[in-house]
Amino acid sequence: MTAEPVAVDVVVVGAGPAGSCAATALARRGHSVILLERGPFAGSKNMYGGVVYPRILDQLHPNWWEEVPIQRWITRRSTMVLTDSQAMTVDFRSQHWADPPYNGATAYRPDFDHWLAQKAEADGVQVVTSTTAVGLLRDEAGRIVGVRTDRPDGDLRASVVIACDGVNSFLAKEAGLFREHQTAADNYTVGVKETIALPRDVIEQRFGVRGREGVDIEILGGTGGVNGGGFVYTNLDTLGVGVVLKLPALAAQQQRPEEIIADLKAHPAIAPLVEGGEVVEYSAHLIPEAGRSMMPTLTTDGMLVAGDAASMCLAAGIWLEGVNFAMASGMYAGEATADALAAGDTSAPGLAGYERRLGDTFVLRDHDKLHRAPGLVLSDRVQHQYPQMIANVVERVFRVDNPQPKPGLRRIVREERKRAGIGIRDLARDAWTGLRSFG
């Protein structure tokens, strides 16, 4: 005997940042919501580099900083360019980020995501853990009417499904929302991270911070021959050290990610920071790196896609922001769904308020502006030739060659550009792309 399927207004799949914010927005509008999570608790299966920018939470949870479980507030941001034997760092510190309303923070995902899901639960969302959505339910007309879970009698009927199941979303694929080229391996990077334990005071001495202050180091270069980037983040008594690697490049180079992290940790600029630490965790996860060009159709009849499931992560070199884009897109998906339910139209046109909201806010505006950035940042020139040129230029500027007089900067740049094999046209083209993206 099979029981009647459970029915709610909305089922949100995935209790990551996108899912919890979508569910919260809906519950606050009085809708019955089930938030499904395959892990034993929200965040238990989730990893990332380590810095969240929760400003968007001002809208959902004002004064969030009074309770959010963070590790350290980021007060120092460094951008490092590495070659095999050189390092150049632009280091910025602001005490404005050490006090409310803060800017970014390192946080562990099992803590941060769990907290967000608990907030959703407090708003009336039913969070169902250890439960995986394994497929979509459709009515005779083919319209999506819920999800099938891996539990016995596990069908869950809903007027709307919001897929927040993260990168490589099976639900979005099953709904036919991705075109083939959008899921090509070229669009993804793999992020791998070691969590390295060190005493709190050692971290504070090595990174020049106190109390709850923290450091975010983004690295260009240092990933062997594989296009990508690296990072070092400070938690209270651990460091997050990792690399983000372009998938096809990784396969072509036949290198293993853990070897690349090992090389990064052995670099003279990084080794003193991690020395003596004990690796307590190793994790890896895909990143939808290509941004705008790999975003699926965002709505269909009875379903929306948000967060990494919709490739909302912004990966643009100096910025790697996925959690805030996930929270915002989830929240807007929830709000648009509430509008559609109120209007009694949950077809794709009825749910169109979602894309409108994304287009009016940073979510799609930043992606639109920066749509060329991922390609530029992961290009061979930016990855291999510019770091070498920049490091050589700086080395020569600061090298004292007495009794030779100091060379002029223009001459050094010209010589080093040629030495790195960078054509003037390519330089100009990249500068223009960079200016249009970041300018």
Partner 1 sequence: MTDHGTPSHRIVVCWKWVDLEGDARRAGVSAADEAALETALAMTASLDAPTAEVVVVTLGPPETDPVLRRALAAGAHRVVRIDASVDLPSDRVAAALAEAMNDELGGVDIVVCGDYSPDRGSGSVPAFLAAELGAAQALGLIQLTVDGRVDASGAPVVRALRRLDGGRREQLTVTTPAVLSVEGSVATLRRATLAAELAAKQATIDVVPGPRHAEQHADSIRPFRPRTRVVPAPEGQSALDRVRALTAAGATSAHGETVTLDPPDAAARIVSALHEWGYLES
In the complex, what is the shortest distance from the CB of residue 84 to ligand FAD, in angstroms, rounded to a whole number?
23
For 306-332, letters b (16+ CB in 10 Å) and e give bbbbbbbbbbbbeebbbbbbbbbbbbb
Closest Cα partner for 318 from 359, 366, 261?
Answer: 366
In the complex, what is the shortest distance from the CB of residue 108 to ligand FAD, in angstroms, rounded to a whole number?
12
Nearest CB to partner 1, comparing residues 153 and 380? 153
In the complex, what is the shortest distance from the CB of residue 305 to ligand FAD, in angstroms, rounded to a whole number?
9
Nearest CB to partner 1, comparing residues 114 and 357? 114
In the complex, what is the shortest distance from the CB of residue 180 to partner 1, in angstroms, rounded to a whole number?
34
Nearest CB to partner 1, comparing residues 70 and 249? 70
Contact set with ligand FAD (CB under 6 A): 13-19, 36-39, 45-46, 48-52, 132-133, 164-166, 191, 193, 242, 244, 285, 287, 307-309, 313, 320-324, 326
Nearest CB to partner 1, comparing residues 36 and 226? 36
- Report what 133 binds from ligand FAD, partner 1, none; CB cut-off 5-8 Å by kind: ligand FAD
In the complex, what is the shortest distance from the CB of residue 97 to partner 1, in angstroms, rounded to a whole number?
29
Backbone angles phi, psi at 331, to 5 degrees: -60, -45
Nearest CB to partner 1, comparing residues 152 and 439? 152
Nearest CB to partner 1, comparing residues 128 and 167? 128
Contact set with partner 1 (CB under 8 A): 3, 6, 34, 40-41, 44, 110, 114, 126, 128, 131, 149, 151-156
Residue 206: which residues within 8 A CB-CB, separation 6 or more? 198, 272, 273
- In Å, how far from its chain's centre is CA 282? 18
- Report what 193 binds from partner 1, ligand FAD, none; CB cut-off 5-8 Å by kind: ligand FAD
For 55-86, letters b (16+ CB in 10 Å) and e give bbbeebbeebbeebebbbbbbbbbbbbbbeeb
Largest Cα–Cα distance of the chain, in whole Å?
94
- Burial of residue 435 (CB within 10 Å: 0-12, 13-18, 19+) is exposed
Residue pair 106/51 in contact (Cβ under 8 Å)? The answer is: yes
Nearest CB to ligand FAD, comparing residues 277 and 288? 288
Residue 262, CA distances (Å) to 58, 286, 358 in order: 39, 20, 40
In the complex, what is the shortest distance from the CB of residue 266 to ligand FAD, in angstroms, rounded to a whole number?
20
CB-closest chain residue to ligand FAD: 322
Query: How far apart are the C-alpha atoms of 254 and 31, rounded to whole Å?
Result: 50
Pair of tokens at residue 127: 């969070």
In the complex, what is the shortest distance from the CB of residue 57 to partner 1, in angstroms, rounded to a whole number?
22
Pair of tokens at residue 36: 């499904």
